[in-house]
Chain A
Amino acid sequence: MSASRDRILAAAKANKPEELPLPEVPLFGGDATAERFTTVLAGIGGTVVWLDGLESLAPTVQQLFPEAQNTASALFRGTVPVDAQTPTGILAAIDLAVLQGEIGVAENGAIWLPEANMLHRALPTITQHLALVLDRRRLVATMHQAYAQLPGTGGYGKFVAGPSKTADIEQSLVIGAHGARSLVVLLY
């Protein structure tokens, strides 16, 4: 092991204060309704669209994104097959990705998207538009409840809350910085 490692650990050990307790984090609850989730998501630039059931996924997507040419999805038949080996050039041309979200958080509009649901790790950000399908029964109130329901975060996984955005130019909010330009959550 490196000399720096040992030095840093020794210094941390020598300089740390007396041990203090680690608090338990309560499972803060609250309103976990689809109404609240919808309002919060709208506030951060996303949209909720209701699906009658998973059967109506394909026609709904077609209706929402009539101009999407290159589509990728594990949930309905897209035009581009994507897996972990798909080259960057092909990924970069995708207009729409439709992926399964796992848990929705009502207080901040975030949706948990594990690696297994992404087809390729870069797909949710490189696609021009992103649609996440979510079961309304998987809505929880807070981040605490969401993490409590996760088996783990796996090799890679993320909470996505709305489309990519920036306010780096004079604090004006611009939707669509590097990642997906829009986020639609298809609730069923």
Chain B
Amino acid sequence: MSHAIRADKFLLDADRTTWHDETLWFVREKRDRAVYAVPEFQELRELASQIKNHTLSRLDLYLQEFEAAAQANGVHVHWAADAAEHNAIILDIIKKQGATRVVKSKSMLTEECHLNPYLIQHGVEVVDTDLGERIIQFRDEAPSHIVLPAIHLKKEDVGDTFHTHLGTAKGESDPQRLTEAARQHLRSKFVAGEVAISGVNFAIAETGAVVVCTNEGNADLGVNLARVHIAAMGIEKIIPRLTDLGVFTRLLARSATGQPVTTYTSHFAKPAPDKEMHIVIVDNGRTQQLGRPDFRASLKCIRCGACMNTCPVYRRSGGHSYDFTVPGPIGAILSPNIDMKKHASLPFASTLCGSCTDVCPVKIDIHTQLYKWRQVLGEANEIPASKKWGMKFMGRVLASTRVYGLGGQFARRALRLLPHGLTHAPSFNAWAVARELPEAPKQSFREWYAKQPQPAPQPQSQVPA
């Protein structure tokens, strides 16, 4: 199913679409205010971009440096080539502990690997502890945004969900009271958690520490109460030095939600006495992306979500319409790398307006890459026939002045004469489904121009002697 078809479902509720659009635009505006308050923001973006470029150009070496430092800290380091191996490694650690209860803080990588269903299938209770994640876990949904996983839901939806799962009063929709109910519920889970799984925002090669950024403190609470901490990281999370972290912590939260920094920026390097720490380093298609010069820059992404918040298509189609772990503009670049056929429509879910590129804190050329994917998909015959033939036809028309002129004449007449039902037939003209066509002028610009009196010849300018 294409992005456009799934988006249609979201668009059925016009009020909700408008609300979704406005909510995300509000976050985008908060981002702008936070960014303008930092005089060197553009300089920081450039530094972040260069640090990431450099890191990717020595990725194998930094991964080894990181591994050695982490092992020296007493951390167990594991390597997973793909999602299946990632899941198996984590289940194995849990099994060895004889544990059955896992608390998890937000991690898009474990989403990408579908870890939750795998663990549940193997008899492990998995509790997502980030409030937004917990809400969608109750509802058996996927996150619709990488930073704001439940952004597609209204407070009444959350109220209904909590009424069913947590026994809150029917009709309760006050965010404060709903959050309090979740706090009580999740505290009991934290206290009972045997193994804690977290994601990784940054991994520092120099120190072997992983850095986790949250606002709720759920990663810290889970990890520090459980016996075992498992941190799952993609190979692209590496940065070389602690000093580089100063750049990224200044960019991440400002770009994501407009906060000056996340509430907790936690550095985990060594397990507490008598406890264990594991890091699972995951590839899952990333080294392949590294080998594609046109798309390699997508590995610089720090998952701030700014490109989604600003994207006019994302805001009006909702995260679920992308049907991929990472939605929005960056997801549309990452997904065809994983499965070109399945995600062929995503690089077309963009107006190519470039707004995503403008806000990206690590300067990924997002809209250029979307454009490049379209070429790749075209060559690979992954473009829907209607679009492809339409493009081919227009290409011919635009290539010849004569054909273009004739076509224009024909179109103007046709638009005046053909009935609305035909020009707007959804099967012929998807463009006109939600749009009116302009009234066709009687004359083209060229015809009008030809009838104008020729301008008088300009006097020759005097060349000074």
In whole angstroms, how far apart are the Cα atoms of A44 and B287 in the complex? Answer: 39
In whole angstroms, how far apart are the Cα atoms of A9 and B54 in the complex? Answer: 17
Q: Is there contact, CB below 8 Å, between A20 and B131?
A: no
Report chain A residues within 8 Å CB of B291: 11, 14-15
Q: Indicate whether B119 reaches chain A with its CB closer than 8 angstroms.
A: no
Stretch of A71-79, A95-103, A170-178 with 4 or more beta carbons under 8 angstroms from chain B: A170-178
Give the contacts of B278-320 with A (CB-CB under 8 A): 281, 283, 287-288, 290-291, 293, 296
Say how far A79's CB is from chain B's closest CB, in angstroms.
21
Report chain A residues within 8 Å CB of B283: 4, 7-8, 11
Report chain B residues within 8 Å CB of A158: 220, 264-267
Stretch of B4-12, B173-181, B402-410, B431-439 with 4 or more beta carbons under 8 angstroms from chain A: B173-181
* Residue in contact with B217 in the complex, picked from A20, A30, A178, CB distance below 8 Å: A178
Report chain B residues within 8 Å CB of A126: 190, 221, 224-225
* Residue in contact with A22 in the complex, picked from B51, B80, B129, B257, CB distance below 8 Å: B51
In whole angstroms, how far apart are the Cα atoms of A78 and B207 in the complex? Answer: 35
Q: Is there contact, CB below 8 Å, between B57 and A162?
A: no
Stretch of A55-63, A131-139, A147-155 with 4 or more beta carbons under 8 angstroms from chain B: A147-155
Q: Indicate whether A80 reaches chain B with its CB closer than 8 angstroms.
A: no
Report chain B residues within 8 Å CB of A125: 217, 220-221, 224, 264
Q: Indicate whether B263 reaches chain A with its CB closer than 8 angstroms.
A: yes
* Cβ contacts B125-159/A at 8 Å (1 or 0 each): 00001111001000000000000111101110010
Q: Indicate whether A109 reaches chain B with its CB closer than 8 angstroms.
A: yes
Give the contacts of A43-66 with B (CB-CB under 8 A): 43-44
Q: Indicate whether B112 reaches chain A with its CB closer than 8 angstroms.
A: no
The bracket for how many chain B residues form the interface is: 35 or more
Q: Is there contact, CB below 8 Å, between A20 and B54?
A: yes
Q: Is there contact, CB below 8 Å, between B288 and A92?
A: no
Q: Indicate whether B250 reaches chain A with its CB closer than 8 angstroms.
A: yes
Q: Is there contact, CB below 8 Å, between A16 and B191?
A: no
In whole angstroms, how far apart are the Cα atoms of A180 and B27 in the complex? Answer: 25
* Residue in contact with A153 in the complex, picked from B57, B267, B288, CB distance below 8 Å: B267
* Cβ contacts B17-61/A at 8 Å (1 or 0 each): 000000100110000000000111000000100110110111110
* Residue in contact with B263 in the complex, picked from A88, A92, A146, A163, CB distance below 8 Å: A163
* Cβ contacts B350-386/A at 8 Å (1 or 0 each): 0000000000000000000000000000000000000
Say how far A104's CB is from chain B's closest CB, in angstroms.
12
In whole angstroms, how far apart are the Cα atoms of A155 and B275 in the complex? Answer: 12
Report chain A residues within 8 Å CB of B270: 154-156
Q: Indicate whether B218 reaches chain A with its CB closer than 8 angstroms.
A: yes
* Cβ contacts B385-413/A at 8 Å (1 or 0 each): 00000000000000000000000000000
Say how far B190's CB is from chain A's closest CB, in angstroms.
7
Q: Is there contact, CB below 8 Å, between A13 and B60?
A: yes
Q: Is there contact, CB below 8 Å, between A22 and B240?
A: yes
In whole angstroms, how far apart are the Cα atoms of A5 and B215 in the complex? Answer: 33
Say how far A3's CB is from chain B's closest CB, in angstroms.
8
Q: Is there contact, CB below 8 Å, between B130 and A168?
A: yes
Say how far A63's CB is from chain B's closest CB, in angstroms.
26
Report chain A residues within 8 Å CB of B235: 8, 12
In whole angstroms, how far apart are the Cα atoms of A25 and B246 in the complex? Answer: 9
Q: Is there contact, CB below 8 Å, between A9 and B63?
A: yes
Q: Indicate whether B78 reaches chain A with its CB closer than 8 angstroms.
A: yes
Tell whether A84 pairs with B207 under 8 Å between CB atoms, given A12-B60, A158-B220, A165-B216: no
List residues of B whose CB falls within 8 A of some A CB.
23, 26-27, 38-40, 47, 50-51, 53-54, 56-60, 63-64, 73, 78-81, 85, 129-132, 135, 148-151, 153-155, 158, 175-176, 178-180, 182-183, 186-187, 190-191, 207, 209, 215-218, 220-221, 224-225, 235, 240, 242-247, 249-250, 257, 259-273, 281, 283, 287-288, 290-291, 293, 296
